[in-house]
Amino acid sequence: MHKIIIAIDGHSSCGKSTLARSLAQRLGYTYIDSGAMYRAVTLYLLRHGISAAERERIDAVLPKLQLSFNDKNEMLLNGENVEHEIRQMKVSNYVSEVAAVPEVRRAMVEQQQEMGRQRGIVMDGRDIGTVVFPDAELKIFLTASSQTRAQRRHEELRQKGYPSTIAEVEKNLAHRDHIDSTREDSPLKQAADAIIIDNTRLSREAQLARALELAHQAGATGSS
Ligand code: DC
């Protein structure tokens, strides 16, 4: 079976993880949520009262952080299941500041590249096609209108039982999009060879069908 690397990048809340997860499942690949890793680092810093501006302190604690995923793709921080906590607003509101710290990015990219050695992975994030796997066989850049993204995220948070208002969600998305796209170190941008999928008017099924078609064209032979 020929295994490829699939990179999915895009703004916050445009459905990257939904697509990446289902694509990985259909191909029999491993799904890796790179954003969860930045969220876990953020949670650790918040718990220890370390700000994103304290780069030396961050550099000193990074080697103490063991990040891994269990078989349900839930994030483990030093063995503790933090999946629930990293999705809360207190983390969402600070994660972009932490993800802009070069020391944090360097450590995360190293670990992500290591995870990709086995190939047969779908990884979603902001810099996967540009920095982490510039040679990925398939790069997808996912977009959706900002209104659609805010509505989807609001609904997702509600279903998961995290209280929020649509205004709060819109503000958080705009804040994160701005920092993620303008930071100096590996800002969110579309790789030159990425294929755009705008899912504003696409059903999940239609989006998955398109991505599977692209994966097969890129050489993936999987269980789909
Ligand atoms: O995908 P997400 O919303 O869970 O990501 C959380 C934050 O982490 C997001 O605001 C930007 C950052 N991030 C990043 O800088 N690079 C990645 N590869 C993934 C996420």
Distance 202 CA to ligand 1 centre (A): 23
Phi-psi region of 79 (alpha: psi -120 to 50; beta: other; left: phi over 0): left
Taking only the tens place, the pLDDT of each residue in 115-145 is 999 899 999 999 999 999 999 999 999 999 9
The CA-atom distances, in angstroms, between 86 and each of 36, 47, 90, 93, 168 are 7, 12, 8, 11, 17
Q: 97 CB less than 6 Å from ligand 1?
A: no
Phi-psi region of 186 (alpha: psi -120 to 50; beta: other; left: phi over 0): left
Instruction: Tell me the whole-structure pTM to 2 decimals.
Output: 0.94
Taking only the tens place, the pLDDT of each residue in 144-162 is 998 999 999 899 888 888 8
Q: 34 CB less than 6 Å from ligand 1?
A: yes
> What pLDDT tens digit does each residue of the chain (224 aa) get?
789 999 999 998 899 999 999 999 999 999 999 999 999 999 999 999 999 999 999 999 999 999 999 999 999 999 999 999 999 889 999 999 999 999 999 999 999 999 999 899 999 999 999 999 999 999 999 999 989 999 998 998 888 888 889 999 999 999 999 999 999 999 999 999 999 999 999 999 999 999 999 999 999 986 54
CA distance 111 to 60: 17
CA neighbours closer than 13 Å in the CB half-sphere of residue 112: 30
Q: Which atom of ligand 1 is nearest to the CA of 95?
A: 7
Look at ligand 1, atom 16, and give the residue with the nearest C-alpha: 126
Enter the tokens of residue 133. 């796997």
8 Å CB contact between 65 and 78? yes
Q: Which residues contact 171 (CB under 8 A, 6 or more apart)?
A: none
All structural domains of the chain, each given as residue ranges with its CATH number in brackets, are 5-217 (3.40.50.300)
Distance 1 CA to ligand 1 centre (A): 31
Q: 95 CB less than 6 Å from ligand 1?
A: yes
Distance 12 CA to ligand 1 centre (A): 7
Q: 123 CB less than 6 Å from ligand 1?
A: no
Best mutation site among 11, 16, 38 for ligand 1 pocket (most ligand atoms within 8 Å of CB):
38
